[in-house]
Amino acid sequence: MAYQFADGFDNYGNSFAMVSGYPWDLAAGGNETTSTADFRFAPPGSLPGGSVSMSGSGNILRKNLSGNIVTLIVGFGFKLPTLPGSITELCGFWDNGTEQCCLTVNSAGQLQFARGNGVGTLIGTQTSASTVTASAWYGVSIQVTLNNGAGVVQAYLNGAAVAAINSSSLNTISTANAYANQVSLGGNVAGSPTIKYDDFYCFDTTGGFLNSRPANDTRVLTKLPTGAGNYTNWTPTGLASNWQNAAVAPPNTADYNANNVATTKDSYALPSAGLTTTPLFVLVRASLERDDAGTHTPSIFMRSSATDSAGVATPAVTSSYLFYDAVFQNDPNTSIAWTGSGADAAQIGIIEG
């Protein structure tokens, strides 16, 4: 598994207070709030745009990963409205609640990695290319290998071909384990200033897809349904149409589509993003719960032209809403990698399990 997680922070609406488990496993501190007024790149067409901001000690978003990962690839956009008064974190790599290492920024805007949390031992070498200024959006791509002597830290800014930080033969762990199983955004140290985030992704280096650091700066485009798809077989509650319920941002418990008949499909048309280049990956995220005692394992699918993909089964859904992700490597209509126009025209859908 190479894909771990992604979040463009576009589908929550304005002033949404992030909550634990939806979709980040931990939203600590209580001030992780979205904004539709500030984002790294203006969204194309009618697509939504957004970012999330947080400040202060312990205010972080943290995601549990699929296992114990030795090498992680993380990218995101960030903006510091003001530079910190002292060193603070931007992103952290954790072993079951203990921080192994993190990327930090100091009062001069210099990026550097640290072992442990933001006030831990600084590791790796700063360069003149690793300095940022206040009130500007930056894109950073990070690759970290967790080890007590052969650790590696790399950071690339704004799609540069040459790393701003590239250091090896390091101790990048603070526990006895040479891996991470959680990743976080947020200052996590006392006095951390406001930090805004956008366009987050996390991969590992296993498998044959999404297993290497993207060569270019990367953004996340988010689409919400704008019309009915090929299938309208689930029952809408709340809003009048299936696609309208699926487009609510953020999702709520009053507007939803329901079904309990196996193999029944529902699908939704999406707006155009005007894609002209091949997307790095295509991800569908569904917000699901069950409201009875039965076992439900729905599948997420995509439809391209007249061809449905195979469904990607979710785990058995719980009695509380959670987000479930499915990554589609290939266009089901061509069985090869997506083109920009193919991905742009595709529909998304759900199959009752």
Residue-wise DSSP of 258-307 = E--STT-EEEEE-------S--S-EEEEEEE---SSS----EEEEEETTE
Residue-wise DSSP of 159-203 = T-SS-SEEEEEE---SSS-S-EEEEEES--STT---EEEEEEEEE
**Burial letters for 107-135: b for 16+ Cβ neighbours within 10 Å, e otherwise?**
eeebbbbbbbbbbbeebbebbeebebeee
Residue 62 CB-density burial (10 A; 0-12 exposed, 13-18 middle, 19+ buried)? buried
Instruction: Report pLDDT digits (tens) over 30-85.
Output: 899 999 999 999 999 999 999 999 988 889 999 999 999 999 999 999 999 999 99
Q: H or E segment at 242?
A: helix 242-246
Mean pLDDT rounded to a whole number for the chain: 95
Instruction: Report pLDDT digits (tens) over 210-244.
Output: 999 999 999 999 999 999 999 999 999 999 999 99
What pTM, to 2 d.p., does this model score? 0.96
Rg (CA), the chain: 20
Specify the amino acid at residue 312.
V
pLDDT value at 1 more than 70: no
Of 153, 149, 145, 144, nearest in space to 170 by CA: 149
Predicted confidence at residue 114, as pLDDT, reads: 97
**Burial letters for 13-25: b for 16+ Cβ neighbours within 10 Å, e otherwise?**
eeebebeeebbbe
Residue 336 CB-density burial (10 A; 0-12 exposed, 13-18 middle, 19+ buried)? exposed
**Which residues partner with 3 through β-bridges?**
203
The pair phi, psi for residue 130, each rounded to 5°, is: -105, 30
Mean pLDDT along residues 327-337 = 96
Of 61, 6, 48, 1, nearest in space to 282 by CA: 6
Of 98, 315, 76, nearest in space to 202 by CA: 76
Mean pLDDT along residues 148-165 = 97
Predicted confidence at residue 241, as pLDDT, reads: 98
Instruction: Report pLDDT digits (tens) over 248-264.
Output: 998 889 999 999 999 99
Residue 198 CA: distances (Å) to CA of 42, 53, 159, 305, 343 = 12, 9, 15, 31, 22
Task: Band the pLDDT of 332: cuts 50, 70, 90.
Answer: very high
- Contact between 143 and 165 under an 8 Å Cβ cutoff? The reply is no
pLDDT value at 184 more than 90: yes
176: Cβ contacts below 8 Å, ≥ 6 apart: none
Name the least confident of 125-129, 137-141, 167-171: 125-129
Instruction: Report pLDDT digits (tens) over 136-149.
Output: 999 999 999 999 99
